[in-house]
Amino acid sequence: MLDRQDCSLQPVPRREVSTAVVLYTSGTSGQPKGAELTHANLAKNAEIVSRTVLRLTRTDVVFGGLPLFHSFGQTVAMNAALIAGASLSLLPRFEPADALRVLHRDAATAFLGVPTMFHAVLRHPAGNSPPVASLRVALSGGAAMPLDWLHEFEDAFGCAVLEGYGLTETSPVACFNHPDRPRRAGSIGTPIEGVRMGVRGPDGSEVLDGEVGELVVRGHNVMKGYWRRPDATAEAVRDGWFHTGDLGVRDPDGYYRVVGRKKDLIIRGGYNVYPREVEDVLYEHPAVAEAAVIGIPHPTHGEEVAAVVSLRPSAQASPDELREHVRSRLAGYKYPRRVEIIPELPKGPTGKILKRALVPGLHPDAKPLPAPDANPR
């Protein structure tokens, strides 16, 4: 054993630009990469979110059902609470019954989670009886929140649900619906303090408001780079702008909305289909609990729209019924020609639906697709 008196180890001075952590991306649509986040990245992101979005004080109790190895849990739950001197209630693993018990026991004032966590709490028999009267705000991130879930949670728990957006590479928060500004359900709000965002077309130029393009981010929250991946860093960060790989739209008031991942975009017969739009319609069906829309190969159209769904307990619906539900509400080229119903959609450690895990499952036992339409529209 080392004698403490003989030990020459000393703390190493660190600078704001020094690497604090290397957090690996979730890899929901590709190979995970290690994002180098600096001390300044983490400290500024946590302080701004704590002060301007959560508005935490020393009397607040933050429910931390998110894993702390993930940027959402680490920055928005743990670090934001520590900076404000607030309390943090942790769960070793998220289960709706345990979450409700902790929310009541600790009189939590802030609930943080991905949409599937909100859904799990809502569907639990004890979800809103009695309600958690102490809750004043809930933050949703990590994936798009179906509007029905958002309104159900607000009605059941009597608190505002604020949606936001970020990535591991942006420490993670880039954009949020703020409590002191008009909230727009279904949008990710406006950039946080000190962060700029834009929407770029294929040629790299800004597109007009209302047009779809790639979301780009610039500010104190952008990572130092990918760990030992200078090629990937150069591809992702150009002229100081981080290219997210997400497709989005900005409205004239500066609010942003995500429509899907670039890699998830389905091009059917030359027409763009954004999975989020189709998923939102599927969630409007009363039997649907979870939905994921993906593209699968098609001999004529290039890609075909496919949907994988799980149903609510005791609910019944056939693939044909769900297909027609979407067909009656969207353009003819957008509705899913194949709908598969499975007990539960695969998820990652944070509860996000893993679309990449669905694709192989559609091929081994896939039934023949309907004959190609004469008119793909």
Pairing of strands 137-140, 110-113: parallel
Fold match, 19-261 / 265-362: no
* Of 115, 175, 169, the residue nearest 143 (C-alpha): 115
Per-residue confidence (pLDDT) for residue 320, from 0 to 100: 96
Per-residue confidence (pLDDT) for residue 11, from 0 to 100: 80
Per-residue confidence (pLDDT) for residue 363, from 0 to 100: 38
Distance of CA 217 to the CA centre of its chain: 16
pTM surpassing 0.85?
A: no
Per-residue confidence (pLDDT) for residue 229, from 0 to 100: 94
d(CA 4, CA 173) in angstroms, rounded, equals: 42
CATH number of 19-261: 3.40.50.12780
Give, to the nearest 10 degrees, the angle between helix 115-123 and helix 147-157.
Answer: 50
Give all strands (DSSP E) within 193-347, no chain letters.
195-200, 213-219, 225-226, 237-238, 241-250, 256-261, 266-268, 271-273, 288-298, 302-311, 338-341
Per-residue confidence (pLDDT) for residue 7, from 0 to 100: 61
Torsion angles phi and psi, residue 266, rounded to 5: -100, 125
Q: Give domain limits for the chain.
A: 19-261, 265-362
Question: How is 192-203 classified by DSSP, letter by letter?
Answer: PTTEEEEEE-TT
Per-residue confidence (pLDDT) for residue 364, from 0 to 100: 36
Tell me if residue 139 falls in helix, strand or coil: strand
Per-residue confidence (pLDDT) for residue 346, from 0 to 100: 92
Per-residue confidence (pLDDT) for residue 325, from 0 to 100: 97
Residue 120 DSSP one-character state: H
* Of 197, 198, 173, the residue nearest 48 (C-alpha): 173
74, 131, 137 from 108: Cα distances, Å: 18, 12, 10
Per-residue confidence (pLDDT) for residue 144, from 0 to 100: 84
Asked if residue 293 lies in contact with residue 336, where contact means CB atoms within 8 angstroms, the answer is yes
Per-residue confidence (pLDDT) for residue 367, from 0 to 100: 41
CATH for the 265-362 domain, from 1.10.10.10, 3.40.718.10, 3.30.300.30, 3.40.50.2300:
3.30.300.30
* Of 218, 220, 199, 219, the residue nearest 210 (C-alpha): 199
Residue type, 325: H
Distance of CA 58 to the CA centre of its chain: 28
Per-residue confidence (pLDDT) for residue 333, from 0 to 100: 93
Name the stretches of the chain with pLDDT < 50.
Answer: 1-2, 28-29, 363-377
pLDDT by residue (tens digit) across 182-210?
A: 999 889 999 999 999 999 999 999 999 99
Count of H helices and E strands in the chain? 10, 20
Say which residues have a Cβ less than 8 Å from residue 365's Cβ, sequence separation at least 6: none
242, 263, 289, 318 from 221: Cα distances, Å: 10, 24, 34, 45
Per-residue confidence (pLDDT) for residue 362, from 0 to 100: 52
Per-residue confidence (pLDDT) for residue 330, from 0 to 100: 95
